[in-house]
Chain A
Amino acid sequence: MKRSMQFLVAAGVAVAGIAVVILAQGSVAGPAPAKEQQQVVTDCVESRVGYTDITRKEQAVPEYGYPNVKCSPRTHKVWWWGDPFADTIPMGDMPALDPNDKSKGDFAHAVVRPREPHLQYFNMFPDKHCEGCHDGENVPFPKNNIPRELGMHQDIVENALDLQHGRGAIWCLDCHSAKHRNKLVDHRGRLISFNQPQKLCGKCHGQIYADWRRGIHGKRIGSWKTGGKKRWWVCTECHNPHTVQIHRFDPIKPEAPPELPRGMNNADHELKY
C-alpha cells in the first residue's frame, strides 16, 4: 500500500514536470498552429490574371462531391480541377499540319473554353460585344492600318504607337478585323474566331504553333492518352498579345513558401551571399 502511494506521488510529480515542460514549450513556440477556417474562394483565375476567370461551382462531380475547381485563398489561382472540362466547347476544325499529320485525330476530342464571352468592355453589350460600339455608325470604321494614337482602350494598349508585339512590324488592324470587331483577321483577310486565336498566331509563330499542335507547347488537361479528351489552352489564355514583348507570361503572385522546420525562425541560411 505504502509502496503504491509512493509510486502515485512520484507519478504525480512526473506528470506535473511534463506539464511544465509542455507549457514552457508552448510559450516559446507561440500558440499551437490551429487550423483557421479558410474561406472558400469562388472567383478564381486560371492562367492569365484578369482574362481567364472561372467561378467555383459545388457538386460539379456528384460522385465524389467535387467542385469544378478548388482555388488558392492567397492568389485565387486554380490549383485543383474537379471537372477539367468545365464550361468548354469543342475546339472546332483544325487543318492538318502536313499529309502525315497523325495528331489530327486528337482534335476530335479537343475542347476549349470559349474566349468570345470575355469580349466585353466594362460590361457593356454582353451579347453584341465589341460591335456594340464598333458598328460603323457610333464608331466609324477605320480607313487604313497606319499606326496612330488611340482615343480609347489605353488600358489594353498603353501607347498604340509603340505596340509591344511584333517590334514595330504589326499594328492593331493586322490582327483585329476593321469591320467585324468580334472577329480576328489574318493577312489574307479571312475572319477568325476569338475562340481559335491559334489560327492567327500560327501564321507568324509557326514553330511554336507546331509544338502546340503536338502537345509540347502550352497547357492541356484531361486525359493523358493519345486521342483522349483534353482541354487545350489557346494562345491568349496564357499570353497577352498586346504586351507580349514585355513579358511572355505576366508575372503572378506565388503561393506561400513551405513551413519552416520546427525551431527555425527564418530561412537566412539559404542566402549565402
Chain B
Amino acid sequence: MSQQCSGHCHCGKGAEEAESIDTTRRDLLKYMGVAAMAGAMAEADSPEAEAATFKEWFQTHYQLMTDSEKKACIARLEARYSEEYGKHVTVSDAPPLKGVLFGYALNIQKCIGCRTCVHACVQENNQSRYDPEVQWIKVLKMEKGGDSFSEDKREKGYPEHSAIGDHGVQVGGNAYTPAGVSLEDSVRYYDPEKVPEDGSFYFPVQCQQCEKPPCVKTCPVRATFREPNGVVVIDYNWCIGCRMCQLACPYGARRFNWGEPNLPPEEMNPKTHYFGNRPRMRGVMEKCTFCLQRTREGRMPACLEACPVGARKFGNLLDPQSEIRQVLATKRVFRFKEEFNTYPKFFYFVD
C-alpha cells in the first residue's frame, strides 16, 4: 500500500444506499470509515497485507504500545518499506541513550552559506525530493553590520516626503537597513557564483530541539513529544496533520507533507528509525531530529559531516569533555530567540 486513503475515497454504490436510508451522522461516519478501509485494502494484494494495512491504520500511539505491539508494528513497516523501495529497509526503535543530552552548536563566523548541510539532510532523512521539495534546514543570508553604514548606504532609509508631511518622525539613516541577526531582512533564495560573499554572513536554521517546545505544548493529540535525550520527535502515524505545531514554532522548523512524498527508490536511505527518517506519508509533519538513526548509534548527524568548513559541532551536553561543552565553555554563545523561553539545545557561536 503506497497511499493512505484519508477518508475522501469514493464510496461508489455505498453512497447511494446511504442516501436512501435515514442515517445518523455517527452511522454515516462509521460507514465512510469502512468504505475507506475497503478502498485501501483493495490496493493490497494478499490477506496478510490487508491485515497489516488494517493494523497500521488502527495502531495506537507508539509510546502506549506494548512491546509485542511495537515489534509487530516495526515488522509491518519494514515489510512495507522493503517492498515499496525494492531493498532491505530496517526500522530501528532504539531508545534514548542513558546519560546523554544532545546539544548542537553552529559557528556563524565560519559558515559560508554553501547549503551542503541542507542537501546532506535530504540525503539522510528521506524527504520528498520534488513536488513538494522538503528541506529541514534553511540557510538565511544576512548583512554584516559594517556594510549598513557603508558609503553607498549611509543616506538611505530616511522617510520620504509625502503630501501629508513627515509626521515629525526622524528615523535616522539606517533604521530601514538593520544589520545583524534580523530575520525580516534575511534572504533565503540567494544564488551567487561563489560563497561566502563579501559583507554577508549566513545563519542556518533547523529544529532547535527546545527544552520547552511550543510545538509539543500545542499538539492536540500528543503526536510530538520530547524524549529524554533532548530530541523532539513525531509519531508520524499518530499525527493528524492539523499543523498547529507549525504555527507554534518560533523558528519555522517544521515541515508539512502537502502531497504524497516523491522519494525515488534509488535515493532512499534504507537505515531508518521509527521517530526519525522512515518514509513519511502525505498529511503529516516532519522536522529535524538530530539524525536519530545515526546519533543513537554514536554517529554524527549528516549535516555536520557534510559541512565543508567544520562550522557545526555536536555532542553530549552532560559530558564535560565533549566538543559541545568545550564550545559552550570557551566561546561566545547565543541561542536563537532566547526571549521566547524555549531553551533551545541548539547554540550559535562565534570565535
Task: Give the distance in Å from the alpha carbon of A260 to the alpha carbon of B308 in the complex.
Answer: 26
**Chain A, 100-123, contact with B by CB distance < 8 Å: what is the 0/1 string?**
001100000000000000000000
Task: Give the distance in Å from the alpha carbon of A215 to the alpha carbon of B270 in the complex.
Answer: 31
For residue A271, CB closer than 8 A to chain B, the reply is yes
Say yes or no: A64 contacts B190, CB within 8 Å.
Answer: no
- Specify which chain B residues have a CB less than 8 angstroms from the CB of A81 in the assembled complex: 302, 305-306
Say yes or no: B189 contacts A258, CB within 8 Å.
Answer: yes
In the complex, which of the residues B124, B188, B310, B314 contacts A224, with contact meaning CB atoms closer than 8 Å? B314
Say yes or no: A270 contacts B298, CB within 8 Å.
Answer: no
List 14 A–B pairs whose Cβ atoms lie within 8 Å, in order of A's numbering.
Answer: A46-B308, A64-B90, A75-B114, A79-B116, A217-B351, A221-B300, A221-B305, A223-B300, A224-B315, A249-B309, A252-B195, A254-B113, A255-B118, A259-B132
In the complex, which of the residues B120, B138, B156, B295 contacts A79, with contact meaning CB atoms closer than 8 Å? B120
- Specify which chain A residues have a CB less than 8 angstroms from the CB of B112 in the assembled complex: 249, 251-252
CB contacts under 8 Å to A, within B295-326, are 295, 298-300, 302, 304-310, 313-316, 319, 321-323, 326
A contact set with B: CB distance below 8 Å: 32-33, 35, 46-47, 64-65, 70, 72, 75, 77-81, 84, 102-103, 211, 214-226, 228, 233, 238, 249, 251-260, 267, 270-273
Task: Give the distance in Å from the alpha carbon of A219 to the alpha carbon of B110 in the complex.
Answer: 11
Q: Report, as a range, how many residues of chain B touch the other chain.
A: 35 or more
Apart from A103-B321, A254-B192, A258-B133, 12 more pairs, CB < 8 Å:
A64-B90, A72-B116, A218-B310, A219-B307, A238-B310, A251-B195, A252-B194, A252-B195, A253-B194, A254-B190, A255-B114, A270-B186
The dominant DSSP class at the B interface is loop
Say yes or no: B327 contacts A216, CB within 8 Å.
Answer: yes
- Specify which chain A residues have a CB less than 8 angstroms from the CB of B131 in the assembled complex: 32-33
Q: Taking A81-B305, A267-B188 as contacts, is the C-beta distance between A70 and B114 under 8 angstroms?
A: no
Say yes or no: A224 contacts B321, CB within 8 Å.
Answer: no
**Centre residue among A46, A217, A257 by max chain B CB count within 10 A:** A257
Say yes or no: A224 contacts B299, CB within 8 Å.
Answer: yes
Say yes or no: B321 contacts A220, CB within 8 Å.
Answer: no
Say yes or no: B193 contacts A47, CB within 8 Å.
Answer: no
CB contacts under 8 Å to A, within B116-141, are 116, 118-120, 123-124, 129-133, 135, 138
For residue B70, CB closer than 8 A to chain A, the reply is no
Say yes or no: B308 contacts A77, CB within 8 Å.
Answer: yes
Task: Give the distance in Å from the alpha carbon of A228 to the alpha carbon of B135 in the complex.
Answer: 30
In the complex, which of the residues B130, B314, B315, B330 contacts A33, with contact meaning CB atoms closer than 8 Å? B130
Task: Give the distance in Å from the alpha carbon of A226 to the alpha carbon of B315 in the complex.
Answer: 8
- Specify which chain A residues have a CB less than 8 angstroms from the CB of B302 in the assembled complex: 80-81
Task: Give the distance in Å from the alpha carbon of A256 to the alpha carbon of B190 in the complex.
Answer: 9
Say yes or no: B323 contacts A215, CB within 8 Å.
Answer: yes
Say yes or no: A216 contacts B187, CB within 8 Å.
Answer: no
Task: Give the distance in Å from the alpha carbon of A271 to the alpha carbon of B315 in the complex.
Answer: 37
- Specify which chain A residues have a CB less than 8 angstroms from the CB of B321 in the assembled complex: 102-103, 226
The dominant DSSP class at the A interface is loop
Task: Give the distance in Å from the alpha carbon of A196 to the alpha carbon of B52 in the complex.
Answer: 56
In the complex, which of the residues A80, A270, A273 contacts B124, with contact meaning CB atoms closer than 8 Å? A80
Task: Give the distance in Å from the alpha carbon of A224 to the alpha carbon of B307 in the complex.
Answer: 15
Task: Give the distance in Å from the alpha carbon of A8 to the alpha carbon of B271 in the complex.
Answer: 49
- Specify which chain B residues have a CB less than 8 angstroms from the CB of A259 in the assembled complex: 130, 132-133
**Centre residue among A79, A223, A226 by max chain B CB count within 10 A:** A79
Closest A residue to B157 by beta carbon equals A273
Task: Give the distance in Å from the alpha carbon of A216 to the alpha carbon of B333 in the complex.
Answer: 13
Say yes or no: B308 contacts A273, CB within 8 Å.
Answer: no
- Specify which chain A residues have a CB less than 8 angstroms from the CB of B123 in the assembled complex: 70, 79-80
Task: Give the distance in Å from the alpha carbon of A220 to the alpha carbon of B308 in the complex.
Answer: 10
- Specify which chain B residues have a CB less than 8 angstroms from the CB of A65 in the assembled complex: 87, 270
Task: Give the distance in Å from the alpha carbon of A259 to the alpha carbon of B319 in the complex.
Answer: 40
Say yes or no: A219 contacts B309, CB within 8 Å.
Answer: yes
Task: Give the distance in Å from the alpha carbon of A216 to the alpha carbon of B295 in the complex.
Answer: 19
- Specify which chain A residues have a CB less than 8 angstroms from the CB of B189 in the assembled complex: 257-258, 260, 267, 270
For residue B250, CB closer than 8 A to chain A, the reply is no
- In angstroms, how far is the closest chain B Cβ from the Cβ of A24? 18
For residue B82, CB closer than 8 A to chain A, the reply is no
For residue B262, CB closer than 8 A to chain A, the reply is yes
Closest B residue to A268 by beta carbon equals B189
- Specify which chain A residues have a CB less than 8 angstroms from the CB of B304 in the assembled complex: 221
Say yes or no: B300 contacts A80, CB within 8 Å.
Answer: no
- Specify which chain B residues have a CB less than 8 angstroms from the CB of A217 in the assembled complex: 310, 351
Say yes or no: B177 contacts A215, CB within 8 Å.
Answer: no
Task: List the 5 shortest-distance A-B pairs measured between CB atoms, nearest first.
Answer: A219-B310, A267-B189, A215-B323, A251-B194, A255-B115
Task: Give the distance in Å from the alpha carbon of A33 to the alpha carbon of B304 in the complex.
Answer: 30
Say yes or no: A223 contacts B298, CB within 8 Å.
Answer: yes
Task: Give the distance in Å from the alpha carbon of A221 to the alpha carbon of B330 in the complex.
Answer: 21
- In angstroms, how far is the closest chain B Cβ from the Cβ of A166? 20
Q: Taking A81-B305, A102-B321 as contacts, is the C-beta distance between A216 and B330 under 8 angstroms?
A: yes
